[in-house]
Amino acid sequence: ILNVEQSPQSLHVQEGDSTNFTCSFPSSNFYALHWYRWETAKSPEALFVMTLNGDEKKKGRISATLNTKEGYSYLYIKGSQPEDSATYLCAFSGNTGKLIFGQGTTLQVKP
């Protein structure tokens, strides 16, 4: 069974703080690493799909890096805002068509 681990499980920060989360995944048979943002009472929405070792992607104040050789990805949020409060999910895609999700990191940003 392939495991995708995310840490921390939850995080409380003040508005304006910068923060980062970790996603660990199997380093073999790697095809892609996905990041999704999931707000309460909504559906998950894609942030990034990363495929190459050393990849860095950015969307506004959110960025992500990828290390496929050691099997980890970091998601960074610069200057957190209350609207960034959500659960952030990562998912590993191997060569099987399956997408395996981590349990998520729940971020709460206090005004």
Partner 1 sequence: EAQVTQNPRYLITVTGKKLTVTCSQNMNHEYMSWYRQDPGLGLRQIYYSMNVEVTDKGDVPEGYKVSRKEKRNFPLILESPSPNQTSLYFCASSLSGTGTYEQYFGPGTRLTVT
Selected binder of partner 1 within 49, 57, 74, 85 (CB under 8 A): 49
Q: Does 106 bind partner 1 (CB under 8 A)?
A: no
Selected binder of partner 1 within 21, 23, 25, 44 (CB under 8 A): 44
Q: Does 98 bind partner 1 (CB under 8 A)?
A: yes
Nearer to partner 1, 46 or 81 (CB): 46
Q: Does 51 bind partner 1 (CB under 8 A)?
A: yes
Q: Does 31 bind partner 1 (CB under 8 A)?
A: yes
Nearer to partner 1, 14 or 52 (CB): 52
| Cα separations in angstroms, 89 against 100, 111 | 10, 23
Q: Does 108 bind partner 1 (CB under 8 A)?
A: no
Q: Does 93 bind partner 1 (CB under 8 A)?
A: yes
Identify which of 108, 104, 49 has the alpha carbon closest to the alpha carbon of residue 81: 108
